[in-house]
Amino acid sequence: MTMKASSRRVDGVTILDLSGRITLGEGSVVLRDQIRDLLGKSEKKILLNLGDVTYIDSSGIGELVSAFTTVRNQGGELKLLNLTKKVHDLLQITKLYTVFDVKDDEASAIKAFAK
C-alpha cells in the first residue's frame, strides 16, 4: 500500500492525515510535496497524523526529520500525532522521539501550537 495524504484545518492548524507506507520512493515524495505545498501557502503549523501509517523505513524517518527541520527553519512548528507502536519504537531506537513533539490526542495537540 502506497502512502496517501489529506489535509484539513482546525483552529489555524493544518492536520495532515497520512496512511500507508512512508518509504523510499513514492511515500517519501508524497510527504515532501505535501510539506512544500503547505509552506508555500504559509501554513506553518502542521500536525502530522501518523495513526494509519502502517510502515516507515529509514528513508521515511529521514523525510520526517527533513519535514521537521524545514518547517522549523521557516519559523513554523511541526508535531506528530498518533504514532503506531512500530513508528514509536523506531523513533525511540533512533533517539528521535525526544526531538519531535509527539502527541496522542488531537485536541491537546492543536492547543499545544503557539498562538
Partner 1 sequence: MTLERVSYTLDSTLDSVNKAEQTAEALAAKMPFDNESCHRIAMAVREAAVNAVLHGNAYDPNKKVTVSFENTGDSLVIKISDQGRGLKDEDIPNPLAEENLLKQSGRGIFLIRSFMDEVRIRNLEPGTEITLVKHIGQSSGTATEGQQ
Site residues for partner 1 per CB under 8 A = 23-25, 57-59, 61-63, 65-66, 68-69, 86, 90, 93-96, 99
Q: Report the run of H or E that residue 53 belongs to, with start and end.
A: strand 45-56
Least gap, CB of 93 to partner 1 (angstroms): 5
Q: Which is nearer to partner 1, 42 or 98 (CB)?
A: 98
Q: Which is nearer to partner 1, 61 or 81 (CB)?
A: 61
CB of 19 to partner 1, least distance (A): 18
Helix %, strand %, coil % for the chain, to 5?
Answer: 40, 30, 30
Looking at the Cβ atoms of 57 and 106, the one nearer to partner 1 is 57
CB atoms within 10 A of CB 28: 22
Residue 78 Cβ, how far from partner 1 at the closest point, in Å?
13
| 8 A C-beta contact, residue 35 and residue 55 | no
Cβ closest to partner 1, residue 28 vs residue 110: 28
Alpha carbon distances (Å) from 27 to 18, 40, 83, 97, 110: 10, 20, 17, 21, 25
